[in-house]
Structure 1
């Protein structure tokens, strides 16, 4: 099997030298394992530089042969507008809650769209059915949707490595942009986030921005299921712990200790970025020294700052501010034989970084906001006696509660945390670290990637099963097979007519009424409309048509060409008074909602309510009413944007059995809601049952929407007319 990994940057630079750190390093152990199973890996990404058009074919061939990579060619102007523009001036600051740093521009978003199309174009050239495509990070939000539209059965994962913000932050993006981002992500079979919080923020943004609900993290959009879940990214624990235990690492660590005159080492390792809170960390260290003069000359802060975006003016000024702060602290507290901060502005290779971790007594990982932060995890598995001080704003904090958690905005709290960590008993440190390291071993990067693959495959299989039931409305399978009489049962809302904001607005078109009338007049055809609507509504809509009308989910039945309604069961409506008052209370609380009273049922509608408030109230109501429904003469059911409370004995399934003639029939049943599952269940095996819409069903077939039902009615009319014509 082939894995096509897609990320903004390739694991090697444009000249073929490896990129240190990042996704390439994180995934290396999983990719080695994947290849050992006989699978293939192709990595698609931008090489980091514009390649002249005449050199592209030769360059692509060289990159594939030597590195197994497929370059995406972007012109330099497009790459700058896409990467430095929308990615890093809009998405990066916004998703990290630095809203004042955001720039909103239709121009850079157009470049973002164009770049995502270029990635899709490259994948289109190499994709083969059966490939697993795994798209990474915020640079490629639109790519899953583009690929899904071209390859409906593609096995596709998307993972976001940065935080997903709360809805209140996310909606700062213009609607035309945020809706495209959400829809693009929904092209994946699986969307992975680092934490459960990020997952919930995404789901809430979907609900508030697009009105799309989820069922336990499963979303249905454009005839496709997408699963969302938290997958905290791990590290290659074995690689770090094995090297940390080696003689080579010990030698380097001992040398560091000697050079630092056996001072207690406090370590900070970060990429230069405003989200990392490096300047705040220096202020906290300065405050620690002021508040604890007894630690002067007894500790040292090793500050490792990895260069990043060195050509961006705001990053240059940030670097200057850090340089000045380091100089000020060293100038204020330093002596001839002691410098408080050892400042290194460079990247460290793995072989030097692990000894640095091993020699550390206090590790400071205090970003303002971070998707995960693997440095914290690398530190923990590289040593035993060092204490981790971790920002509660980093994704890793959800996994590492035994660390000393701090708010990076709280200088006093940070200074106190440094003191607590540096003075903590060694046995306490070991106890805490053992718990965290055990957890990290169980959730290594290998397990992380495997889980993403299996969950993606499971969701793809579910989609496949879903698709097998989908059927075009003009399929031969949906036509009568014998000369026996035909009995057709339609639900109303969501089956014959689409849902509307207010129930009375959901009326059929004249064209549909004419089609039903024509069908009902054909020989040996009987039609029933079984609905939750009341009698008056059905009488008004289908006046003059020779139909069976069944109102209030089977409570009332009016045979064709009759004026009188028959009750299909005996009522005991004592329960209604109490329930009605409860529904009225919810209606007061939820603007836009309303209660509807029928003879044998009560319905609470929340289609026009605020999506969040309505859904939460519906869940609360469902829970509350379900608890009191036992032996109370009624039962509660969730429908499409409604909660329905019905009297026992009513139900479409029971009504269907009562109105069907006791004779050989060809039965066709169409419904969209949970209430219609009763009909599907009660009918004999040979009945043709059709579900309209997305939800799970026991029906044999599935239509996408009400239009499919209308097409089927016309197709059946033509079929019967032609058969009758030929017979005569």
Structure 2
């Protein structure tokens, strides 16, 4: 199998030298394992530099042959607007809760769209059915949707390496932008996040922004299902622990200790970025020294700051502020034979970083906000006696509660945490670290990638089952097999007519009325409208059509060309008064909702309510009513933006069987809701059942919308007209 990895940057720089750190380093062990099993890997990404058009062909060939990479060529102006613009001035600060740093620009978002299209073009040139495409991070939110529209059965994963914000923050994006981002990422089979919180924030944003609900993380959108779930990214535990225990690492660590004169080492390793809280960390260390003078000349802070975005003025200002703070602390507390802070403005290779971890007594990982932060995990598996001080705002904190958790905005709390960590008994540190390390071993980067692949495949298989039922309305499979009588059952709302904000607005179009009128003129065709609507409404719509009308989910039946309604069952409906007052209480609590009363049922509508409030209230109502429904003469059912409470004995399935002239007749049944599953289940096996919409079903086929039902009716009319013409010619 071939894996097409897609990220903003390639694992090598434009000149072929490796990129240090980041995704390439994190995935290296998994990719080695993947290749060892006989699989292929191709990495698609931007080389980091604009390549002249005349050189692109030879450059692509060289990069593929030497590094297994496919470069995406972006003109420098586009790359700047896409990456430095929308990615780093809008998405990055917003998703890290630095809303004051955000810039909202249609121009940079247009560049973002164009860049995602360019990535899609590069993938289209190499994609083959059976490939697994794994898209990474916030630079490429739109790519899954573009690829899905081009290759409907593509095996596609998306993983977000930064936090996904709460809905209240996410909705700061203009509606036209946030909708495209959500719809784009829904093109994936699987959307992965570092934590359960990020997953829930994403699902809530879907509900609030697009009105899309989920069923335990499964989302139905555009005839495709997507799973959203948490997959905390791990590290190569074996690689770090093996090197940490090697003689080479021990020698380097001992040398560091000699150079530091056996001082207690406090370590901070970060990329230069305002989300990392480096300046706040320095302030906390300064406060620690002020509050605990006994630790002066007994400890040292080693601050490793990896250069980042050195050409951006705000980052240059940030570095100056950090430099000045380090100078102030060293000037205030330092002596001729002791400097509080050892500052290294550069990246460290693996072979030097692990000895640094191994020699550390207190590790400070205190970002203002971080998707995961693998440094915390690398530190834990590289030593035994060091204590981790970890920000509550880092994704890693969900996995590592045994660390000393701090709020990075609380200076005194961080200073106290440094003191607690540096003075903690070695036995206590070992107990805590053993628990965390054993957890990290169970969720290594290998297991992380394996889970993502397996769940992507599982969801893709569900999609295959889901999509095999989809059928065009003009398919011959949906036409009668002979000129013998046929019986057609239609649900009303969501099947013949689309849903409306208020039930009385859902009336059929003139075109549909004309088609149904034509259909009613064929002598071998019987039509039934079987709905949750009441008798009065159905009469007002189909008053002059010779149809079976079934109201209130099977409670009432009016035969064709008759005026009287017959009850299909009898009841005293004693439960209604109590339940009605219950539903009306919810209607008062939830603006936009209302209660509809029918003779044998009650319906609570929340289509016009705030989607989040309405859904929460619906869940609460279902829970409460289910507890009192036993032996109470009624049952509760969830529908499309409704909760319906109806009498036992009613139901579309039993009503359909009662009005069917015989079980051998050619039968067609169309419905969109959970109530229609009764009909699909009860009708004979030979019946052609069609589900309208995206939710799960036992129906044999699926239409995408009410428009498909109208097209099927028109196609049936053409077919019946032709058959009738052929018969009369004979």
> TM-score, with normalisation over the residues of structure 1?
0.99
Alignment of 1:254-273 (within 5 A): 254-273=254-273
Q: Distance in 1 between matches of 2:336 and 2:5?
A: 53
CA contact (8 A) 2:554 2:655 kept: yes
Alpha-carbon displacement from aligned partner over 1:177-213 (angstroms, at most 9, x marks no partner) = 1111111111111111100111111111111111111
Deviation at residue 663 of structure 1 after TM alignment = 6.2
Deviation at residue 220 of structure 1 after TM alignment = 1.1
Q: Distance in 1 between matches of 2:53 and 2:716?
A: 57
Q: Distance in 1 between matches of 2:468 and 2:705?
A: 16
Matched, 1:150 2:180: no
Gaps of 5+ in 2: none
1:568 matched to which residue of 2?
568
CA contact (8 A) 2:187 2:226 kept: yes
Deviation at residue 572 of structure 1 after TM alignment = 2.4
Q: Quick check: 375-384 or 466-475, which moved more? A: 466-475
Q: Distance in 1 between matches of 2:246 and 2:664?
A: 82
Alpha-carbon displacement from aligned partner over 1:635-693 (angstroms, at most 9, x marks no partner) = 00000000000000100011011111136411111111111111111111111111111
Q: Distance in 2 between matches of 1:541 and 1:261?
A: 91
Alpha-carbon displacement from aligned partner over 1:580-625 (angstroms, at most 9, x marks no partner) = 1110110000000000000000000000000000000000001110
Q: Distance in 1 between matches of 2:181 and 2:98?
A: 19
CA contact (8 A) 1:485 1:664 kept: no
Alpha-carbon displacement from aligned partner over 1:204-233 (angstroms, at most 9, x marks no partner) = 111111111111111111111111000000
1:3 matched to which residue of 2?
3
2:288 matched to which residue of 1?
288
1:444 matched to which residue of 2?
444
Alignment of 1:547-566 (within 5 A): 547-566=547-566
- Aligned residue for 1:573, secondary structure, equals coil
Deviation at residue 449 of structure 1 after TM alignment = 0.4
Alignment of 1:168-567 (within 5 A): 168-567=168-567
Alignment of 1:38-117 (within 5 A): 38-117=38-117
Alpha-carbon displacement from aligned partner over 1:372-426 (angstroms, at most 9, x marks no partner) = 0000000000000000000000000000000000000000000000000000000
1:684 matched to which residue of 2?
684
CA contact (8 A) 2:663 2:684 kept: no
Q: Distance in 1 between matches of 2:538 and 2:683?
A: 24
Alpha-carbon displacement from aligned partner over 1:314-343 (angstroms, at most 9, x marks no partner) = 111110111111111111111111111111
CA contact (8 A) 2:222 2:694 kept: no
- Aligned residue for 1:125, secondary structure, equals helix
Alignment of 1:120-159 (within 5 A): 120-159=120-159
Q: Distance in 2 between matches of 1:706 and 1:700?
A: 17
CA root-mean-square deviation = 0.8
Q: 1:629 to 1:663 in 2, by over 3 A?
A: closer
- Aligned residue for 1:42, secondary structure, equals strand
Q: Distance in 1 between matches of 2:634 and 2:103?
A: 56
Matched, 1:648 2:644: no
Q: Distance in 1 between matches of 2:93 and 2:512?
A: 52
Matched, 1:699 2:702: no
Q: Distance in 2 between matches of 1:109 and 1:712?
A: 40
- Aligned residue for 1:45, secondary structure, equals strand
Q: Distance in 2 between matches of 1:282 and 1:496?
A: 66
1:622 matched to which residue of 2?
622
Q: Distance in 2 between matches of 1:300 and 1:368?
A: 23
CA contact (8 A) 2:42 2:70 kept: yes
Alpha-carbon displacement from aligned partner over 1:40-78 (angstroms, at most 9, x marks no partner) = 000001111111111111111111111000111111111
> TM-score, with normalisation over the residues of structure 2?
0.99
CA contact (8 A) 1:478 1:688 kept: yes
Q: Distance in 1 between matches of 2:115 and 2:725?
A: 58
Q: Distance in 1 between matches of 2:664 and 2:615?
A: 44
Deviation at residue 482 of structure 1 after TM alignment = 2.6
- Aligned residue for 1:38, secondary structure, equals coil
Q: Quick check: 60-69 or 516-525, which moved more? A: 516-525
Alpha-carbon displacement from aligned partner over 1:12-53 (angstroms, at most 9, x marks no partner) = 011111111100000011101110111100000111111111
Q: Quick check: 477-486 or 291-300, which moved more? A: 477-486
Alpha-carbon displacement from aligned partner over 1:424-483 (angstroms, at most 9, x marks no partner) = 000000000000000000000000001111111111111111111111111111111133
Q: Distance in 2 between matches of 1:453 and 1:505?
A: 46
- Aligned residue for 1:201, secondary structure, equals helix
Deviation at residue 695 of structure 1 after TM alignment = 1.1
Q: Distance in 2 between matches of 1:88 and 1:671?
A: 47
Q: Distance in 1 between matches of 2:49 and 2:710?
A: 54
- Aligned residue for 1:702, secondary structure, equals strand
Q: 1:210 to 1:663 in 2, by over 3 A?
A: closer
Q: Distance in 2 between matches of 1:389 and 1:684?
A: 65
- Aligned residue for 2:126, secondary structure, equals coil
Runs of 4+ in 1 over 6 A off after TM superposition: none
Q: Distance in 1 between matches of 2:660 and 2:18?
A: 72
Q: Distance in 2 between matches of 1:687 and 1:55?
A: 62
